[in-house]
Each structure stands twice: as structure tokens, then as C-alpha cells.
Amino acid sequence: MDKVIHFELPFDDGERATTFYREAFGWELDSMPQFQYTMVTTTPTNEQGRPAEPGGINGGMMARQGPITAPIVTIGVASIDEAVATIEKLGGKLAIGRQPVGDMGFSAYFHDTEGNLVGLWEKA
């Protein structure tokens, strides 16, 4: 069973959004300018940077653009290519194809049969 492992929140004003979430919820925010992305830590993490508490997930924030206009959940999969083949067979549509994220892994985005944009993550 593939799990929801990450969330993403798009913003119009990065400083305003990061200030809001930091002050409203105490989240830790780490800007990654090379990726135009901000990592969001919502729960304690272990040595590998993964949530240390069962059920906890962390996420990210980025500028609202392209198809990313609303919050997204990201599902961890063994193979993005295999997941996309299954998604398309079931009526979903690829929105943003598999792309590398540094040396950490690969991401992609698809629209489900209801029009929701959902992320995929494959570890490197």
C-alpha cells in the first residue's frame, strides 16, 4: 500500500505565507532557493529527516504557478513510471512528468478522475 508522505502548500507571497504558518502552528521552515522551495517540518524527525512519530508528515511550500494552485498531497511510490501507467489506465492524467529533485529522488504530478492534482514521489 502506497502512503501519503508529503504535502505541498502553494503561496502568492512567500514571506507572508511562511510567517503565517511559523507563527500560527510553530512549524519549522527551511528555504531551499536552489529549488525555489521551502521545506516544512510539522513533526519531530529522526536521523534520516523522516517523521519520528507514526502518522506524522512534513511538507513543502512553493510559489503558486502552473497546475499547482491548491494544496497537494504526495504519495510515495516505488516507481513513478509504473504508477503513472496504472493511473492512466484507470482514467487519471499526467500533469507534470517525472523530474529529478536534486539527488533525493523524483517527483511527478497527476490529475485523478475527479480533477484533483496529486503528487508522486520516488526515492532515488
* Average pLDDT in the chain: 95
Q: Would you call 76 exposed, middle or buried from its count of C-beta atoms within 10 A (0-12, 13-18, 19+)? A: middle
| DSSP element (H, E) containing 109 | strand 105-111
Q: How confident is the model at residue 96 (pLDDT cuts 50, 70, 90)?
A: very high
DSSP 44: -
CA 88 centroid distance within chain? 20
Q: Is pLDDT above 90 for 67?
A: yes
Q: What is the mean pLDDT of residues 50-75?
A: 94
Q: What is the mean pLDDT of residues 88-117?
A: 96
Report how far residue 26's alpha carbon sits from residue 1's, in angstroms, rounded to the nearest whole number. 31
Q: Which domain holds residue 74?
A: 4-123
CA distances (Å), 46 to each of 8, 27, 51, 87, 123, in order? 21, 16, 6, 32, 17
Taking only the tens place, the pLDDT of each residue in 80-93 is: 999 999 999 999 99
Measured at the CA of 81, the angle between CA 51 and CA 113, to 5 degrees, comes to 85
Domain with residue 84: its CATH number is 3.10.180.10
For residue 59 the three cell numbers come to 511538507
Calculate Rg over the CA atoms of the chain: 15
Tell me what pLDDT residue 48 has. Answer: 83
**How many domains, in total, are found in the chain?**
1
Q: Is pLDDT above 90 for 62?
A: yes
Q: What is the mean pLDDT of residues 118-123?
A: 97
Taking only the tens place, the pLDDT of each residue in 41-53 is: 999 999 888 898 8
